[in-house]
């Protein structure tokens, strides 16, 4: 059950209700022309000043609900590591394996399990000053439109209270899955397709062309940070090549970590940023790792650690 009754809200003329539940309601947070939460947070010590503050929309750091972080402690360590690499805001997205949830009640129960574990993590995050702002979402496994429609209207479905849905089709694609995109768009939701560079496409389907079709229908494409540095080459051999081809063809809308906690190390937003910059794609990296996701989360609900309360925009 959500703890929303304990929430203190930040109401401003230009921002959505960013939320902090733990200490007193936030006052004195300066109003910015565009509210970019990540940019209001202090930089981590040692972070280069010319780097943008990243907003990460895909990770598995809700403790012990999926194949990601196993404990609050593991989640906190992963969050601290990401903060040290420049992640200022993060929506963590436990797997919502809808095809395995055989009833509507089972979906509700699973979302409640996510929320309860997230709340426990958020309690701990609220006591720290060295962590990203934290929101809750899901990575929704929806191989067809009917599956997506089972979760679309549920309270809490989406990224941190926004219209955006992070959706995966399963690594072995069974078709074009374009009906999923159409269903989301028809419902007025934004859809982000998770790591299309990691899918196995059916024979006869050219991956880049399929990606163009998804985008043409209104989807955004999210590449995993680790794909640029070959992190998944043992699992999906072509993922690194395809990620760079997506860059070359202008098909990257977002880059996120898909961080799974300590059990799967090797995904580094800073290394991805550096790899893109080294190939002359720094402005793209800034857009897909900072500008675009930050803008998409303008209306999001985040937990703010103490850093976000006491010194927004401070500490250089």
CB of 185 within 8 A of CB of 218?
yes
**218-252 burial, b for 16+ CB within 10 Å, e for fewer?**
ebbbbbbbbbbbebbeeebebbbebbbebbeeebb
Closest CB to Fe ion: residue number: 258
Smallest distance, Å, CB 108 to Fe ion? 22
258 in contact with Fe ion (CB under 5 A): yes
Smallest distance, Å, CB 58 to Fe ion? 6
Of residues 272 and 309, the one with the C-beta less far from Fe ion: 272
Smallest distance, Å, CB 59 to Fe ion? 7
Smallest distance, Å, CB 141 to Fe ion? 10
CB of 24 within 8 A of CB of 306?
no
56 in contact with Fe ion (CB under 5 A): no
Query: Which among 123, 126, 60 is positioned nearest to 97, based on CA atoms?
Result: 60
Smallest distance, Å, CB 64 to Fe ion? 16
Of residues 226 and 308, the one with the C-beta less far from Fe ion: 226
Binding mask 116-155 for Fe ion (x = CB under 5 A): -----------------------x----------------
Size of the site for Fe ion (CB under 5 A): 2
Query: Which among 75, 95, 79, 76 is positioned nearest to 87, based on CA atoms?
Result: 79
Of residues 190 and 313, the one with the C-beta less far from Fe ion: 190
Smallest distance, Å, CB 25 to Fe ion? 33
Choices 70-78, 171-179, 253-261, 291-299; region in contact with Fe ion by CB under 5 A: 253-261
Give the span between the Cα atoms of 213 and 202, in whole angstroms: 15
12: number of Cβ within 10 Å: 14
Of residues 19 and 267, the one with the C-beta less far from Fe ion: 267
Of residues 139 and 197, the one with the C-beta less far from Fe ion: 139
Choices 2-10, 182-190, 256-264, 307-315; region in contact with Fe ion by CB under 5 A: 256-264
CA angle at 54 for the pair 224 and 208, rounded to the nearest 5°: 30
Of residues 139 and 303, the one with the C-beta less far from Fe ion: 139
Of residues 62 and 309, the one with the C-beta less far from Fe ion: 62
Smallest distance, Å, CB 94 to Fe ion? 9
Which residues form the interface with Fe ion (CB under 5 A)?
139, 258
């Amino acid at each position: 059950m959500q703890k929303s009754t304990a929430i203190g809200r930040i109401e401003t003329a230009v921002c959505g209700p960013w939320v902090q539940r733990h200490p007193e309601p936030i006052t004195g947070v300066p109003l910015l022309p565009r509210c970019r939460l990540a940019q209001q947070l202090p930089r981590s010590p040692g972070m280069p000043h010319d780097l943008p503050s990243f907003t990460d929309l895909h990770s598995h750091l809700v403790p012990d609900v999926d194949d990601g972080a196993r404990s609050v402690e593991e989640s906190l360590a992963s969050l601290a590591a990401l903060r040290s690499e420049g992640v200022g805001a993060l929506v963590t997205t436990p797997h919502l394996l809808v095809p395995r949830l055989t009833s509507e009640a089972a979906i509700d129960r699973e979302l409640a399990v996510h929320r309860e574990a997230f709340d426990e993590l958020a309690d701990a995050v609220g006591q720290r000053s060295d962590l990203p702002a934290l929101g809750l979402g899901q990575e929704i496994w929806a191989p067809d439109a009917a599956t997506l429609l089972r979760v679309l209207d549920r309270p809490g479905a989406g990224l941190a209270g926004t219209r955006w849905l992070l959706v995966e089709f399963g690594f072995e694609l069974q078709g074009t899955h374009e009906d999923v995109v159409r269903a989301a768009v028809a419902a007025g939701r934004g859809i982000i397709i998770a790591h299309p560079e990691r899918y196995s496409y059916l024979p006869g389907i050219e991956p880049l062309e399929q990606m163009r079709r998804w985008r043409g229908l209104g989807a955004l494409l999210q590449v995993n940070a680790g794909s640029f540095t070959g992190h998944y080459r043992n699992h999906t051999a072509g993922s690194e090549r395809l990620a760079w081809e997506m860059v070359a063809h202008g098909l990257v809308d977002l880059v996120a970590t898909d961080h799974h906690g300590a059990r799967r190390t090797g995904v580094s937003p800073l290394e991805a940023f550096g790899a893109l910059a080294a190939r002359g794609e720094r402005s793209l990296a800034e857009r897909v790792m900072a500008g675009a996701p930050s803008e998409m989360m303008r209306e999001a609900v985040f937990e703010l650690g103490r850093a976000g309360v006491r010194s927004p925009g401070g500490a250089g």
